[in-house]
């Protein structure tokens, strides 16, 4: 399986994602510069965390208009798997690939902690190796991770089972404790926690590896 990791000016978790996929998962990874307008042949795309374009304007807003995002939108619309982590989640929301908005944490402060989360949907390519309701531990590191949706959108997210992860002890004020969502089709997934920083027990948790293992398992099944 070949993963593509997109790199924006200000990305700082790209190497973490590359290491997790190449070393912990043992799969091929290609780096994709934000100015590329044509994607290489990949089986999944990862938008990593960081501070794309210094988080000027709004986090993810400028990056969402990078040339590569047009290609990623086409890729996603054709069913390609796209995973956005932290700043990558913000880019997905700003680009319209995922609904809702991400606001400043209610504390207005940057938060960096290990959090307990609940898996609310294990039927996506990104979460299939988890069990429904499973408690996992992942680190967070963000200042603008407060997810918000209006009542109509929130009801739609619930009906379509688009809420994938929830915080057990909401650290940032996210509506309904939301920590990660997917699109209606289930092939685009955004999450604020960092699975790439939790792929081995010596990091404090190995739960993050299951997201990447899920994608590999789904890909292998699809290509049998």
pLDDT for res 55: 85
The one catalytic residue in 115, 120, 196, 210 is 196
| pLDDT grade for 211, boundaries at 50, 70 and 90 | very high
For the residues 1-24, what does the mean pLDDT come to? 97
- Confidence tier at 56 by pLDDT (50, 70, 90): confident
Q: Beta strands 81-85 and 44-47: pairing type?
A: parallel
Question: Among this protein's residues, is 182 annotated catalytic?
Answer: no
Split into its structural domains, the chain has a count of 1
Catalytic: which of 115, 120, 182, 194?
Answer: 194
Whether 194 is catalytic: yes
Which range marks the domain in which residue 20 is found? Answer: 2-222
Sign of CA dihedral 54, 194, 14, 1: negative
pLDDT tens string 66-89? 999 999 999 999 999 999 999 999
pLDDT of residue 161: 97
CATH code of the domain in which 14 resides:
3.40.50.880
User: Quick one: how far is CA 156 from the chain centroid?
Assistant: 20
pTM of the model: 0.96
Is 142 a catalytic site residue?
no
Long-range contacts of residues 150-158, Cβ cutoff 8 Å, at least 24 apart: 153/99, 153/100, 156/99, 157/99, 157/100, 157/181
- CA–CA distance, 99 with 115 (Å, rounded to integer): 24
Catalytic, out of 13, 86, 182, 210: 86
pLDDT for 189 equals: 98
Q: Where are the alpha helices (DSSP H) in 78-193?
A: 87-95, 151-159
Q: Tell me what the mean pLDDT of segment 194-221 comes to.
A: 97
């Amino acid at each position: 399986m070949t993963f593509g990791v997109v790199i924006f000016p200000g990305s700082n978790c790209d190497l973490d994602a590359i290491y997790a996929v190449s070393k912990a998962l043992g799969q091929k990874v290609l780096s994709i510069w934000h100015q590329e307008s044509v994607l290489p042949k990949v089986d999944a795309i990862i938008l990593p965390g960081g501070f794309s374009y210094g988080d000027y304007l709004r986090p993810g807003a400028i990056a969402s208009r990078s040339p590569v995002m047009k290609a990623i939108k086409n890729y996603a619309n054709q069913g390609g798997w796209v995973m956005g982590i932290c700043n990558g989640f913000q880019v997905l929301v700003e680009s319209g690939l995922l609904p809702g908005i991400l606001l400043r944490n209610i504390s207005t402060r940057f938060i960096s902690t290990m959090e307990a989360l609940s898996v609310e949907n294990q039927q996506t390519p990104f979460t299939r190796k988890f069990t429904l309701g499973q408690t996992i531990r992942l680190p967070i590191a963000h200042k603008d991770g407060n997810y918000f949706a209006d009542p109509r959108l929130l009801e739609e997210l619930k009906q379509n089972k688009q809420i994938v992860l929830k915080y057990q002890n909401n650290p940032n004020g996210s509506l309904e404790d939301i920590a990660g969502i997917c699109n209606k089709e289930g092939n685009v997934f955004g999450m604020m926690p960092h699975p790439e920083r939790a792929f081995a027990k010596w990091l404090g948790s190995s739960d993050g590896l299951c997201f990447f293992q899920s994608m590999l398992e789904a890909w292998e099944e699809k290509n049998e």
